[in-house]
């Protein structure tokens, strides 16, 4: 089955896809700490309004919002300082009673700030929410100096995120990001290295990502990329930290996750979804899934269901609070 999730940052941590307006509001209200937040759609229905991915670590939380319909979000008030970074489209931001302006670069919103967000269809915004004891360092910085450096650091993190090897690696890299946000701008950038991937490697990665029905064959993948099997193996290992098969396996798991997030049935057919992606042993599949995403397949389904049945706040906060 072709993956129908949008091109979303942190797609391995997809939480909502094709979400209804009620699900969307329940999620972003809890994540923002603002219970009076409202959302008005600019045309369309209240179904399939957007997608959301979320990665929580000890040092903070990252959330990517994707708008599949145009919308305006009002009543936004951060419970603690957060960073907002546009990632696609032309999102806009405005003070509570002020004029709209393009959200074109990293912005810091403090708890006393109330603002509105306008998200055109297809736009994406990343929310970076540091853990409380890091905030004092963030707000002491000279923003004019820090914000451009922080934006480059976050962009570098996002560049690396498709190649997180498993959940432990993702958490480690996320904590690393938040720790470096407290350094001087130059100290932050010194830790950021984002080299361009070799074009031959990019061809291999594209095939793995874009051809879900393809069965792994290293010889075929190497031929497609224009390198030998040995060179492709070491090139991918050096540039991404993963072997070709490991990356292939991870993308199969991500496709299963997307189907679980979208599941509307009473009893999710986890074994069917796993088998469709080539996982024949359910116990081994569950262990791999937990290794990559930090939870069991059934917990992914329970999270979405908790949003649907109105108990979303508990589901949303549990993964984050469990880390503290």
- 144 Cβ contact partners less than 8 Å away, ≥ 6 residues apart: none
Residues 165 and 27 in one domain: yes
How many domains does the structure of the chain reveal? 2
129/30 Cα distance (integer angstroms): 13
Is the dihedral angle over the CA atoms 178, 6, 84, 29 positive or is it negative? negative
Q: Is 292 helix (H, G, I), strand (E, B) or coil?
A: helix
207/81 Cα distance (integer angstroms): 40
Domain that holds residue 166: 11-194+304-321
Residues 293 and 151 in one domain: no
81/70 Cα distance (integer angstroms): 26
Place of tokens 């958490």: 171
pLDDT, residue 266, reads 66
Whole-model pTM over 0.85: yes
- Count other C-beta atoms under 10 Å from residue 220's C-beta: 13
Residues 60 and 176 in one domain: yes
Tokens of residue 215, six digits: 């069965």
Place of tokens 């049945």: 309
6/64 Cα distance (integer angstroms): 11
The residue ranges of DSSP E strands in 58-123, in sequence order, are 60-67, 71-77, 82-88, 92-95, 101-102, 107-109, 114-119
Residue 5 lies in a domain: no
Residues 299 and 310 in one domain: no
pLDDT, residue 236, reads 94
Residues 151 and 95 in one domain: yes
31/272 Cα distance (integer angstroms): 32
Place of tokens 């199969």: 252
What is the tens place of the pLDDT at every residue in 262-285?
876 666 688 899 999 999 898 999
pLDDT, residue 262, reads 85
pLDDT, residue 139, reads 58
pLDDT, residue 35, reads 75
- 45 Cβ contact partners less than 8 Å away, ≥ 6 residues apart: none
Break the chain down into helix, strand, coil percent, rounded to 5: 50, 20, 30
Residue 249, domain CATH: 1.10.10.60
Under 8 Å between Cβ of 51 and 6: yes
pLDDT, residue 194, reads 64
Residues 22 and 91 in one domain: yes
Residue 189, domain CATH: 2.60.120.10
Residues 154 and 207 in one domain: no
CA-CA distances (angstroms) from residue 72 to 13, 38, 43, 256, 269?
A: 25, 8, 11, 32, 36
Tens digits of pLDDT across the chain (324 residues): 444 677 889 999 999 988 889 888 888 887 776 777 889 998 777 678 999 999 999 999 999 999 999 999 988 776 677 889 999 999 999 987 889 999 999 998 877 778 889 999 999 999 998 886 666 665 556 666 788 888 999 999 999 999 999 999 999 999 999 988 876 555 555 556 666 788 999 999 999 999 988 999 999 999 999 999 999 999 999 999 999 999 999 999 999 999 998 876 666 688 899 999 999 898 999 999 999 999 999 899 888 888 777 644 444 544 443 332
Residues 241 and 287 in one domain: yes
């Amino acid at each position: 089955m072709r993956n129908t999730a949008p091109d979303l940052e942190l797609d391995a941590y997809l939480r909502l896809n094709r979400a209804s307006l009620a699900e969307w509001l329940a999620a972003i209200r809890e994540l923002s700490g603002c219970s009076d937040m409202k959302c008005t759609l600019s045309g369309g229905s209240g179904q399939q309004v957007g997608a959301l991915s979320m990665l929580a670590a000890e040092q903070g939380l990252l959330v990517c919002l994707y708008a599949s319909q145009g919308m305006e979000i009002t009543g936004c008030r951060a419970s603690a300082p957060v960073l907002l970074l546009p990632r696609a489209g032309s999102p806009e931001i405005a003070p509570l009673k002020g004029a709209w302006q393009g959200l074109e670069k990293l912005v810091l919103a403090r708890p006393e700030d109330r603002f509105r967000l306008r998200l055109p269809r297809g736009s994406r915004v990343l929310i970076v929410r540091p853990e409380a004891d890091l905030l004092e360092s963030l707000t002491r910085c000279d923003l004019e100096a820090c914000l451009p450096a922080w934006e480059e650091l976050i962009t570098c993190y996002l560049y690396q995120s498709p190649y997180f090897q498993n959940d432990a690696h993702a958490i480690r890299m996320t904590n690393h990001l938040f720790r470096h946000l407290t350094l001087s701008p130059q100290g932050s950038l010194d830790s950021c290295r984002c080299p361009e991937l070799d074009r031959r490697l990019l061809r291999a990665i594209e095939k793995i990502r874009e051809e879900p029905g393809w069965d792994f064959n290293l010889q075929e993948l190497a031929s497609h990329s224009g390198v030998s099997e040995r060179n492709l193996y070491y090139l991918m290992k050096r540039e991404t930290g993963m072997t070709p098969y490991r990356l292939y396996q991870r993308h199969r798991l991500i496709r299963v996750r997307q189907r679980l997030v979208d599941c509307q049935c009473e009893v999710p057919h986890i074994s069917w979804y796993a088998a469709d992606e080539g996982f024949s042993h359910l116990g081994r599949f569950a262990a791999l899934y937990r290794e990559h995403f930090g939870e069991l397949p059934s917990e992914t389904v329970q999270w979405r269901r908790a949003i649907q049945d109105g108990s979303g706040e508990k589901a949303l906060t549990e993964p984050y609070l469990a880390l503290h």
